Amino acid sequence: MPHFKTILLAVMMLGSICTAASAQQAPLPPPPGTIQFMDTLYIDKTEVANVHWREFLFYVERDSGKAYHRTMLPDTSVWFQRNLSQPQTTSIELTTKYLREKEYQLFPVVGISYEQAQAYARWRSVVVSQIMNQPEQLAKLGIPGKQVVVQYRLPTEEEWVAAAAGKLKLDKYPYGQKKYLKKGGNSLNPEQAYKQLDEPRPSFSRFKKDIVGARIPQFQVVAELPYDFYLAPEFPKAVSDGPSNKAGMVHMIGNVAEMTATPGIAKGGSFMHKLEDSAITEKQAYENAAPWLGVRYVATIRVVDYAAPVIQESDGVSDF
């Protein structure tokens, strides 16, 4: 099991959770990074970042050895799945730098499998539970002799939809926000784009007015412009760099699609999906790791008698 230093680092870097307390105990403190969206369910404010996964890898290698560590490494070759004609950042550069370099440390981890995501959830559950069960913490909460159990897992599709939509009606607000468009035509060079138009084409002045005046999504998705032009991001943004919904969750739409508890089903769309394909009611199918696929967890918390065994869900992967 991770020792205290392991736990302290993890809690500093990862979001944790809080819950309402009974009348006999103090409220559990809300560590940073997690938002309550149901009575007993909490969700990460952001997607899991590279820095979080690298911390996981460090302790996996230390506690479980190099062989198991290799099975938890993201597949960095997924960047070759991008379909961009002239990217400023090459797939080779992203393959070698995205996971490891400091400039990308706060960007969402990608290239992970469903099984790896499950293993991370179990590790994180153990780490956060142990820090919350330090004797001084239990005494402050007024529950000596008890045990706090934190359980992280992938959200069900229904839970993800509830978190993304909040209290908004999806038939009216399909992206979970009342305003989601911004001026963005200046992101495209009108002169260069005009040269790519087939004949017959409009006057340049009309074309430029239409392009410059176009409104695009504020989400990190593929934006559609007039005349069949598109603005396609090269990779995601940092996990905290983007629009948040009313509840405060960042990048529920776009950036990277997020795995659900159903294997092969993700939600939210990504920097490689069009806006309409990223609506809350839509889903993205996957078979393997992808450059557009990441993860965000939900969590529960409960207080149990100390004598009761704390059992983390397992599918045969080491609990470290």
Residue 255 token pair: 């950036």
Beta-bridge mates of residue 150: 301
Strand order in the sheet with 284-285: 284-285, 265-267, 257-259, 293-294
281: in domain: no
Distance from C-alpha of 292 to C-alpha of 309, rounded to nearest angstrom: 38
Tell me: do 97 and 202 sit in the same domain: no
pTM of the model: 0.84
62: in domain: yes
Distance from C-alpha of 156 to C-alpha of 265, rounded to nearest angstrom: 10
HEC string of 78-102? HHHHCCCCCCCCCHHHHHHHCCCCH
Confidence of residue 145 (pLDDT cuts 50, 70, 90): confident
Find out whether 17 and 266 touch, Cβ atoms under 8 Å. no
Would the pLDDT of 60 be above 50? yes
Angstrom CA distances, 131 to 42, 45, 158, 191, stand at 18, 20, 30, 58
Residues listed for the chain: 320
As a dihedral over the C-alpha atoms of residue 46, residue 47, residue 50, residue 52, rounded to 10 degrees, the angle is 70
- Among the listed residues 165, 264, 167, 284, the one whose alpha carbon sits nearest the alpha carbon of residue 221: 284
42: in domain: yes
Tell me: do 8 and 141 sit in the same domain: yes
Would the pLDDT of 302 be above 50? yes
Tell me: do 163 and 192 sit in the same domain: no
Find out whether 41 and 155 touch, Cβ atoms under 8 Å. no
What pLDDT is stored for residue 183 in this prediction? 76
Find out whether 105 and 239 touch, Cβ atoms under 8 Å. no
Find out whether 187 and 231 touch, Cβ atoms under 8 Å. yes
CA max distance for the chain: 79
Confidence of residue 256 (pLDDT cuts 50, 70, 90): very high
Would the pLDDT of 163 be above 80? yes
228: in domain: no
289: in domain: no
Tell me: do 92 and 160 sit in the same domain: yes
Q: How many structural domains are present in the chain?
A: 2
Tell me: do 83 and 190 sit in the same domain: no
Tell me: do 146 and 193 sit in the same domain: no
The position carrying tokens 């992938």 is 154
Q: Which DSSP category does 37 fall into?
A: E
Exposed, middle or buried by CB within 10 Å (0-12, 13-18, 19+), for 29? exposed
Q: Write the CB contacts of 258 (distance below 8 Å, at least 6 apart in sequence).
A: 47, 155, 160, 266, 267, 268, 294, 295, 296
Residue 272 token pair: 């490689």
Tell me: do 12 and 109 sit in the same domain: yes
111: in domain: yes
What pLDDT is stored for residue 281 in this prediction? 98
Distance from C-alpha of 299 to C-alpha of 249, rounded to nearest angstrom: 15
In the chain, the DSSP E strands lie at 34-38, 41-44, 146-153, 181-183, 215-217, 223-225, 229-231, 257-259, 265-267, 284-285, 293-294, 298-305
Tell me: do 25 and 114 sit in the same domain: yes
254: in domain: no
Tell me: do 50 and 103 sit in the same domain: yes
Highest mean pLDDT among 177-186, 220-229, 303-312: 220-229
Residue 192 structural domain: 181-217
Would the pLDDT of 110 be above 70? yes
Q: Report the chain's mean pLDDT, rounded to a whole number.
A: 84
